[in-house]
Amino acid sequence: MSGEVVLVRQGAYHDSVQLMRVSRALAETPGVEAAMVAMATELNVAVIRDLGFTVPPAAPGDLLIAVRAADPAAAVAEADRRLAALEPAAPGGEAGQPPLTTGSAIRRTPAGLVLVSVPGEHAFCEAHDAVLAGLPVMIFSDGVPVAQERRLKELAEQRGVLVMGPDCGTASIGGVGLGFANVLAPGPVGVVAASGTGAQQVTSLLDWAGTGVSHILGVGGRDLSAEVGGLSTLRALRLLEEDPATELIVLVSKPAAPEVARAVEEAAAGLSKPVVRALLGRPSPASSAPVGLVAADLTAAAEAALRALGRPVPAWPSWPGRPPRGAPKAIKGLYSGGTLSAEAALVAGQGDFVDYGDDAYTRGRAHPMIDPTLRVEALARATETDVVLLDVVLGHAADPDPAATLVPAVARTPAAAVVVALVGTEGDPQDPHRQAAALREAGAAVHLSNAQAARHARSLL
């Protein structure tokens, strides 16, 4: 006989990503049927109600703990134990009251950069405070209206600062990783990326080749759209041109609006440093860059950067899987990274690809780089004629041990074969060698290059 409880902790704020980890760990605790620990935003309250709980009155700044378990008191105690282990909140002012806005926080404490991670409908005000104060800002939040993004970036151009995002999942400033970030050695390559996982693929491959990174400047997936006009991309290119630690620039993006692509190409051509462009899809006919600096996929971009720096291109590591069962007929892509999914679809030339990191799949739940539940369920639904192709992205903020959940799912899937693109570096806390060995033992073929993984999946048909 199970019982349930919903507790409200007034004013007990924690970061949403941390709370998602607590919720997942609590839900996996023996004896717990359902659990969610989250701030009492309108969306989170709706999700908790969908789980069958009755939610008492609470404000968005309150913390909710909802559990249904054989022993609810023990489950709440476990939630409290995990919450206590989270990083402490930032200290308040003289009276202990924390700042209530980004603007008041900036006035109270000197800062070099502002990171905004709030629900998308509230992100504009916080980022606007940062730009007005003359500070660069990384907007991790998604769901920001495109008109607000354009306005922020126009204001940032006037103030001479960079807006990274919205929906900027990855950045690295002088070796300090922000968002989903791999452990990278310092080096001569600067990256401008309208794609978080695209930047992670390129820089991880460079790291395996012994070449480090100066900065990764994420600009948000819509920056090269006609509506935004590449404002942050153009500023990021200028910043890396002025940066003495950067010798070569890599630009990563999905296909850009034609007029924006032309403006970016003209800006890149005017720089003194070489620019390798990986704009997924076909290279622009207007490009005046040498052929070797226009890459058709992310692996080719990393290789072009190495050649431009006069460094050798290694054979990218891979681990063979078991032979396919039966006669595979189709590729089913189960991705956590949108750009990796788009690249794999382009390289494979066929198949059904789903980006589980899309907003449609992340509302009210953790990103698939943190919580693989939806992809585990999709592996179970695969058929004996499918070759399943998926990415596993390592680094800080990602699942601390993705193989622990994926390996049983790979071993049980009815799919004819599983191919994994493993994106990460040897310095990442998950240890890519251990992850690859576990996935291979379960029968998956593993490649560090997403493009090579897609080609391998195609070859199995």
Per-residue pLDDT tens for 324-346? 998 999 999 999 999 999 999 99
Range of weakest confidence among 19-23, 32-36, 272-276: 19-23
Give the β-pairing of 248-253 and 186-193: parallel
CA distance 424 to 394: 5
Which sequence spans correspond to the domains of the chain? 3-84, 103-308, 318-459
- pLDDT value for 285: 45
Distance (Å, rounded) from C-alpha 303 to C-alpha 309?
Answer: 10
Q: Which residue has the tokens 């990256």?
A: 191
Q: What is the pLDDT of residue 367?
A: 86
* Best CA proximity match to 422, nearest among 449, 396, 401: 449
| pLDDT cut 90: percent of the chain above it | 74
Q: Is 450 exposed, middle or buried (0-12, 13-18, 19+ CB in 10 A)?
A: buried
Assign 96 a pLDDT band (cuts: 50, 70, 90): low
Q: What percent of the chain has pLDDT over 70?
A: 95
Q: How sure is the predictor about 286, in pLDDT bands with cuts at 50, 70 and 90?
A: very low
For residue 238, the model assigns a pLDDT of: 97
Per-residue model confidence as pLDDT tens digits over 146-194: 999 999 999 999 999 999 999 999 999 999 999 999 999 999 999 999 9
Residue 450: which of 205, 182, 190 has the closest Cα?
Answer: 205
Burial class (CB in 10 A: 0-12, 13-18, 19+), 460: middle
328: left (phi over 0), alpha (psi -120 to 50) or beta: beta
The average confidence (pLDDT) of the chain is 91
Give the Å distances, CA to CA, from 418 to 33, 120, 435.
30, 35, 15
> Does position 275 have pLDDT exceeding 60, yes or no?
yes
Beta strands, E only, 174-285: 176-179, 186-193, 213-218, 248-253, 275-279
Top pLDDT among 224 and 288 is at: 224
251 CB-near residues (< 8 Å, 6+ apart): 191, 192, 193, 233, 237, 264, 268, 275, 276, 277, 278, 279
pTM equals 0.86
Kindly compute the dihedral angle of the four CA atoms of residues 152, 153, 155, 160, in this order, to the nearest 10 degrees: 140
- Cα–Cα distances (Å) from 415 to 147, 350, 379, 382, 385, in that order, read 43, 17, 8, 5, 6
The pLDDT of residue 196 is 93
Structure confidence by residue, pLDDT tens digits, 416-447: 999 999 999 999 999 999 999 999 999 999 99
179: left (phi over 0), alpha (psi -120 to 50) or beta: left
Q: Are strands 248-253 and 330-335 parallel, antiparallel or unpaired?
A: unpaired
**HSE toward the beta carbon, residue 10, CA cutoff 13 A:** 2
Residue 28 has a pLDDT of: 85
Q: Hey, do 3-84 and 318-459 end up sharing a CATH topology, with the first three levels equal?
A: no
At 159, which helix (H) or strand (E)? helix 146-159
Q: Give Dmax (Cα) for the chain.
A: 71
Does the structural domain 3-84 have CATH classification 3.30.70? no
pLDDT digits (tens, 9 = 90+) for 308-326: 999 999 999 999 999 999 8
Reply yes or no on whether the pLDDT at 287 is more than 90.
Answer: no
Q: Has domain 103-308 been given CATH number 3.40.50.261?
A: yes
Instruction: Provide the residue type at 445 as one letter.
Output: A
Q: CB-based contacts of 61: which residues, under 8 Å, 6+ apart?
A: 10, 11, 13, 39, 40
What pLDDT score was predicted for residue 288? 52
Q: Does domain 318-459 have CATH number 3.30.70.3450?
A: no
Q: What local confidence, expressed as pLDDT, does residue 130 receive?
A: 96
pLDDT tens for each residue of 38-57: 989 887 898 899 889 999 99
Whole-angstrom CA distances from 332 to 76, 341, 353, 386, 461 are 40, 11, 6, 6, 12
Residue 208 CA to residue 188 CA, distance in Å, equals 15
